[in-house]
Amino acid sequence: MSKALDYYNSKIDRYNNKLNKLNKLILQLSISRLVIFILGILLAYYFYKKENILGIVASLIIFLGLFLIIAYIHNERINEKNETLIYLEVNKKGLSRIDGSFKDFQDNGEEFLDEKHGFINDLDVFGRNSLFQMINSTRTKFGRKKLAEILMLKNLPDKSTILESQEAVEELSKKIDWRQRLEVKSAIKKSGNKSIEELLVWANSEVKEKNSLKVIPYFFIFITFISIILVLLKIIPFSFLILNFIINYAVVKALTRNLQEVILLFDNHKKDIEAYTNILELIEKEKFESKLLIKLKYKLANNTNISAYNEMKALKNLVDWLGDSSKNAYYLILNVLFLTDTFILRNIENWKKENGKYFEEWLSIMGKIEALCSISNISFDFEEWTYPEISERKELEGIEIAHPMLGKRAISNSFKLNNNSKAALITGSNMSGKSTFLRTIGLNLLLSYIGAKTYSKGFKCGIFNIYTCMRTTDNLEESISSFYAEILRIKILIDAAKRGERVFFLLDEIFKGTNSKDRHEGARVLINQLVENGSIGLVSTHDLELCDLEKTKDWIRNYNFQEYYKDNKIYFDYKLREGRSKTQNAVHLMKLAGINFKEF
């Protein structure tokens, strides 16, 4: 059993045992609460019958105290149970990543799919059975967004950046307990579909200085306490104090006209802010050794001695007060006595003045660390995978490389492109593994660039912009046929190559929407043009005549996949071989479908 499997199974056993104990304890506490409540009522009734007022009061106070203590303990155990359930979920997801059942994970990031992107749709980066679905363990919106941005390669990293990421990912992979705490502590109920952007807009908005908030509240508080003293001394009637409270309430509403908007904003994001506070606390208290993580942690201090965690905690406390102000009746008393809302609004504005300019950067750093934790799942779960060697040259070499999302079902192959070979033609019969092999190459390249391990026994690659043309479909809304959609993707690829980008191309059955003559000529010219512009890559094809390019171009290599037959059934070994394909299975598959060729 691998270290990861042993870890997850032992944690699942531990948390299942803990959950059973908590369920029993919670049941006992529930019964205890009920018993205490009934005993308290019965004892109070007994003293009531005896007309013992002191006994009634004493019994109610004692049993109410006991009831509140048991209720508090009961609530704490429920919170502990909820946390334990999340730990169970986290460890079960770890097992699912390893055994390949991650496609059942609810979050697959399908909203990030983009037909205009260079590769994400073709390489199954997002959507069902995707790389995102497999590795994502982010719990905040910023972490999720940051992971998506990393997987999209929005900013193609250089070699030093990749090596820094590798170092950070490897360190985080070893901090499995810390990573799970980070995930659990940020896994509280979030704000649903509310956009986090509105919180950023607030943080970056202009601070509204109100001198009235600095002086007027103190004046009315002073008047209130003088009024209370005068009422107690019976110098003024109690009705005057009631009038004073009404005036105070009116003053509060006048001074905090826009407070309801702030209350609504933070009510929408209260749980988000709590999660951010938890994450910052864990990051701030953890000791890191890798350069990237140290750098990110340092940025959280704004390059000063300010504690981002303490500042976020202060905001959380203010938000909690806001929640009380809108939902609790007792808060009304505090408001008319101390004009509390005015101080909360002023403190929130002061917080924004001091920290608003850093808020987005804090969230971005937290998101980056969350995203790195997701990537480190690969290093921990698949210890046999290897970190790639990043080359400055235009080359790719993989030793026993396999598809990252196929798990134990994946078949490994060795392959290379270097100075002597710029392009590879992959031929083979239907379902023999051509498209899967192209995705294998593309996904391992992507893993290399984000600092992750690759599914290989050795992987070496240069840094390229990845471009694919593998899945093209009709777009009825834009009146685009699949062939024209393919042409548009090819144009994006050619334009990138002409701009001087370091392009790695993966083309699957290109120009299949036209006749064989045009398909052959178009593919031949395209491959030649791409290589002349400095690109390298792979092309899968059924066009065996295209393989003749190897006779005239010393930079192209032919490879193939084959099938074999047994008991009139077709089988595939998915092993890559040198040379052009010498087998075909289309007619055999048609016969299996019931097409009778003897009639012709």
Our measurement of the distance from residue 357's CA atom to the centroid of its chain's CA atoms, rounded to an integer in Å, reads: 24
Which residues, at least 6 apart from 441, have a Cβ–Cβ distance to it below 8 Å? 396, 398, 401, 415, 506, 538
Our measurement of the distance from residue 594's CA atom to the centroid of its chain's CA atoms, rounded to an integer in Å, reads: 47
User: At which residue do the structure tokens 């084959």 appear?
Assistant: 562
CB 312 within 8 A of CB 280: yes
Strand partners, 401: 413
CB atoms near residue 40 (< 10 Å): 19
Q: Which two tokens stand for residue 344?
A: 């909360």
421 phi, psi to nearest 5 deg: -140, 125
Phi-psi region of 118 (alpha: psi -120 to 50; beta: other; left: phi over 0): alpha
Give me the tens of pLDDT residue by residue for the chain, a chain 600 residues long. Answer: 689 999 999 999 999 999 999 999 999 999 998 999 899 888 888 888 877 888 888 888 888 889 889 989 999 999 999 999 999 999 999 999 999 999 989 999 999 999 889 999 999 999 999 999 999 999 888 899 999 999 999 889 999 999 999 999 999 999 999 999 999 988 865 545 566 788 888 888 877 666 555 678 778 888 888 888 887 788 888 888 788 888 878 887 777 776 677 777 887 888 888 889 999 999 999 999 999 999 999 888 765 567 889 999 999 888 887 755 555 555 677 777 777 777 777 888 888 888 888 899 999 999 999 999 999 999 999 999 999 999 999 999 999 999 999 988 899 999 999 878 999 999 988 788 899 999 999 999 999 999 999 999 999 999 999 999 987 654 444 445 677 777 888 888 999 999 989 999 999 888 776 666 777 788 888 889 999 999 999 999 888 888 888 888 889 999 999 887 777 777 788 999 999 877 665 555 556 555 665 654
Among 3.40.50.1820, 3.10.20.90, 3.40.190.290, 3.40.50.300, name the CATH number for the domain at 389-599: 3.40.50.300
User: At which residue do the structure tokens 């993707």 appear?
Assistant: 489
Strand partners, 572: 563
Domains of the chain, by residue range, sit at 1-99, 197-373, 389-599
Among residues 154, 151, 115, the alpha carbon closest in space to that of 471 is found at 115
Buried-state track 318-330, b at ≥16 Cβ within 10 A, e below 16: bbebbeebeeeee
Which residues, at least 6 apart from 295, have a Cβ–Cβ distance to it below 8 Å? none
Residue 433 CA to residue 572 CA, distance in Å, equals 8
Residue 86 CA to residue 546 CA, distance in Å, equals 55
Among residues 190, 344, 181, the alpha carbon closest in space to that of 273 is found at 190
